[in-house]
Amino acid sequence: MKTLKHKFRGNSSGQLLVVAALAIAMLIASASIYVYELGVEQNSQGSLQTANFIPVIKQCTRNALISSLANISNGGSRTVLSANLEELAETLRSLKQQAIFQLAFSLHNDSNYESGVWLLWSAEGFGVSSVYTNFELSVQGAENLELNYALNITTTVLVEGFYIGNGDEKNVTLMCRIYNEGNPAQAKNISIFYELDEAWVPANPLVLDFGNGTYIISFTALITSNNVHISAQVTDLRGIFSYANATCIKA
C-alpha cells in the first residue's frame, strides 16, 4: 500500500508541476490585466476633454457678457447682448470637438433687469451697470451632459462727498468706490462734473488712488449754490461705463 502511495506521488509530481505552472501563469495574467484595466480607466478619465472644455465655455460666456455690457454702457443698443450670445453659440456649434456643444440662453427680466440689462445711473450716491443671463449648455458626445448656470456682470459706483470753504469758492472732496461683481475694482478712467447754472461743468480733480477700488477726489470750483451737485463718471478696467450723482453739503 505504502509502495503504491509512494509510486502515485512519484508519478503525479510532474502533473502537479504543470498545474502549479498554470496557476502561476493565471496569476501573472490576471495581475497584468488588472494593471492594464487600471491604466485604461485612468486614460479614459484623462481623455475627458469634453469635461475640460466646459470651463472654457463658461469663460467665453462671461467674456461675452463683459463685452456686451461694455458696448451697451457706452451707448450701444441693448440688443447687442443677445446678438453676441447668438454669435458665440453659433461658433461653439462649429468647433471640431469630440462633442457637440449647444448653448441656449435666456435674458433675465425682473423689476430691475430688462432683456438682461440693468443700467441705473440716476440714483443718489450710486450707479449700476449690469447684465444677467441664464445659460443652458447641452453637450452631446460620448457622454451627454446638461448644465444650467447663470452669470451676472455688474459694475457699481458709489460716491459721496462734502465741501469746505466760505463764499463761492468751494473745495470739494469726494470718496468714490468701484466694485466689479461686489468686489473692489480699479478704474480705467474717472471724470468728475459739477452742476453750475443747470449745466454740467467738467472739474479738474486731483485723484488719490488707494489701490483697493477706493479713490479720494478733490477739486476747487466757483459755485454760488449752498449744495454742490456732482457726477462721477467711471469706466472700469473692463471698459464698462457707469456713473453716480451725489449732493455735497458743507462739512
Parallel, antiparallel, or unpaired: how do β-strands 100-107 and 228-236 relate? unpaired
User: Can you tell me which of 50, 53, 99, 172 binds another protein, judged by CB under 8 A?
Assistant: 53
Residue 62 vs 250, nearer CB to another protein: 62
Cα→Cα distances 61→56, 78, 84, Å:
9, 17, 10
Parallel, antiparallel, or unpaired: how do β-strands 214-222 and 206-209 relate? antiparallel
Shortest distance (Å) from residue 152 CB to another protein: 16
Contact 100, 86 (CB under 8 A): no
DSSP string, 86-144: HHHHHHHHT---SSEEEEEEEE--SSS-BTTEEEE-SSBSEEEEEEEEEEEEEEESSS-
C-alpha closest to that of 87 among 70, 71, 109, 68: 68
189 in contact with another protein (CB under 8 A)? no
Shortest distance (Å) from residue 220 CB to another protein: 34
227 in contact with another protein (CB under 8 A)? no
Shortest distance (Å) from residue 148 CB to another protein: 20
Cα→Cα distances 144→9, 41, 42, 226, Å:
62, 19, 20, 66
Shortest distance (Å) from residue 233 CB to another protein: 16
4 in contact with another protein (CB under 8 A)? no
Q: Which stretch binds another protein (CB under 8 A): 50-58, 157-165, 210-218, 226-234?
A: 50-58
User: Can you tell me which of 9, 56, 222, 251 binds another protein, judged by CB under 8 A?
Assistant: 56
Backbone φ and ψ for 73, nearest 5 degrees, come out as -70, -20
Q: Kindly list the residues in this chain that would bind another protein in the complex (CB under 8 A).
A: 11, 13-15, 17-18, 20-22, 24-26, 28-29, 31-33, 36, 39-40, 42-43, 46-47, 49, 52-53, 55-57, 59-61, 63-64, 66-68, 70-71, 74, 76, 80, 83-84, 87-88, 90-92, 94-97, 238-239
